[in-house]
Amino acid sequence: MLEVNGVSKLYENSRGVSGINFTMQRGEIVGFLGPNGAGKTTTMRMITGYLNPTSGSIRVNGLSMADHPRKARRTIGYLPETPPLYPEMTVRAYLKFVADLRDVPARDQKRRIGEIMEKLGLGGREHQIIRSLSKGYKQRLGLAQAIVHQPDLLVLDEPTSGLDPKQIIEIRRLIRELGENHTVLLSTHILPEVNALCNRVLIINQGQIVLDEKPELLGRTMGDTFEVSLEVKGPREDVVRLLGGTPGVAAVEVLGGDESINAAGVGEADARGAAAAGELSSDKPEAEAEGTASSLLPVSPAPAGERPRPLGASALSSSGECGGAEDASHTGEAEVPADGTVKLRVSAAGSTDIREPVFFRLAEAGYPILEMKRESLSLEEIFLKLTTDEKLAGSGSADEADSAAQQGGGEDA
Ligand SMILES: Nc1ncnc2c1ncn2[C@@H]1O[C@H](COP(=O)(O)OP(=O)(O)OP(=O)(O)O)[C@@H](O)[C@H]1O
């Protein structure tokens, strides 16, 4: 549907974009993200034929934008950041004007304009002067002018920018509906908008694509470890030990509550008591025995053929010869939180999904999982990771280039 091959744009005084490559398949809604000045608008203006690339090629529906600009443009609808409206015109007269410009046959115009006004909730406003429309309705009209010629590809530059929350919800609903019959590329600064609307994310930074992925695969692409948060009904120590021994689990962290669990797998109060009773292994550092260590329980490497075990469990069993903690917990002597539940974060060694082994391990032991939720890097975290550039901190090169470009102007087609 859309092929962007090695596209670069050099402005007189600044880089626009360099070596952009991506394709879009029919039916996709792609979110195009990037910080200010990253190159979103430049890319969109080249795709829509309003700006010529310095190098590279763009094909829409197999048509080269350079060789067949008019035909290629006919298959694209474009909503720039500021909708290209004529404030003195009425809604209907404006849509008729755009339909003429876009070569919509005169015999089809009345029906087509009526359908679009209905679809975009502009019915009843056809004789209203555009200047008197609210911003939300102007945006609807902007969308209407983008689809009046029934394009295959819709390119929307920050379509919800400047709208109030109610208008944002309405425009998103319209975009979702338009996505049923159109391929959509939309730029936005609102990251939840991508989760709400898009089935693919492109992130551009400093003129280059730095990420191209489906939202649900972002964490894996970023090398995120697989983590789940859990609420389990059962004795804390026993639950921790069972989880620590679950195949694929690398660390277990007890969350919340007044007492944090220490590296020996015991709460502060328990640790002191246990140390006094000589239950903790003597080679444990004092700090750990006193509960000052992290609440994260890494799993000790397992000998070949054995399951990994949390350090806490190994410390307890090495002194207690398995007699103490494990039996105690099963016989109800291990600490049970007041409401009988424990909240934990469980991390895998890598990106392997550990939900099933975790589920079966706790089910076998008879400890019900009240809640299990996959934790992943948020789009915000990923965006910041990819677009925060330490190099810029000292040099200020991008800012200088931008301000130079603004002063010096540039070259638009
Ligand atoms: N007409 C122009 N002349 C010269 N430089 C330009 C021109 N338009 C954009 N630039 C520069 O090209 C770079 C990319 O700008 P662009 O507007 O494409 O970014 P953007 O990602 O759309 O930013 P924003 O989110 O702020 O709208 C910036 O450095 C910008 O200053």
> How many angstroms is it from 17 CA to the middle of ligand 1?
9
- The correct answer on CATH 2.30.110.10 for the domain covering 2-75+151-222+382-408 is no
User: 36 CB less than 6 Å from ligand 1?
Assistant: yes
Ligand 1 atom closest to Cα of residue 9: 12
What ipTM is given for this predicted complex? Answer: 0.97
59 strand-pairing partners: 3, 64
> How many angstroms is it from 158 CA to the middle of ligand 1?
14
> How many angstroms is it from 20 CA to the middle of ligand 1?
15
Q: Whose CA is nearest to atom 4 of ligand 1?
A: 410
Nearest to 336 by CA among 214, 408, 232: 232
> How many angstroms is it from 119 CA to the middle of ligand 1?
33
Q: Whose CA is nearest to atom 27 of ligand 1?
A: 36
Contact 376, 219 (CB under 8 A): yes
DSSP H/E element including 394: helix 390-395
**How many other C-beta atoms are found inside a 10 Å radius of the C-beta of residue 381?**
15
User: 40 CB less than 6 Å from ligand 1?
Assistant: yes
Measure the CA angle with vertex 157, ends 153 and 161; round to 5°: 135
> How many angstroms is it from 80 CA to the middle of ligand 1?
13
DSSP H/E element including 362: helix 355-365
Reduce the DSSP state of residue 340 to 3 states and report it: coil
* All CATH 3.40.50.300 domain ranges in the chain, comma separated: 2-75+151-222+382-408
pLDDT by 10s per residue, the chain, length 413: 899 999 999 998 888 899 999 999 988 999 999 888 899 999 999 999 999 999 999 999 889 999 998 889 889 999 998 888 999 999 999 999 999 998 899 999 999 999 889 888 888 898 999 999 988 889 889 989 999 998 999 999 988 887 788 888 888 888 888 888 889 999 988 777 887 889 899 999 999 999 898 877 776 666 667 889 999 999 999 999 999 999 999 999 998 754 434 333 333 333 333 333 333 233 333 333 333 333 444 444 434 333 333 333 332 222 223 333 333 333 334 455 567 899 999 998 877 889 999 999 999 999 999 999 988 777 777 778 788 854 443 333 333 333 333 333 333 33
Q: Whose CA is nearest to atom 5 of ligand 1?
A: 405
- Taking the C-alpha atoms of residue 233 and residue 366, their distance in angstroms, rounded to an integer, is 9
Query: Residues near 188 by Cβ (< 8 Å), separated by ≥ 6?
Result: 31, 32, 33, 158, 159, 160, 161, 194
> How many angstroms is it from 3 CA to the middle of ligand 1?
22
- Taking the C-alpha atoms of residue 315 and residue 283, their distance in angstroms, rounded to an integer, is 9
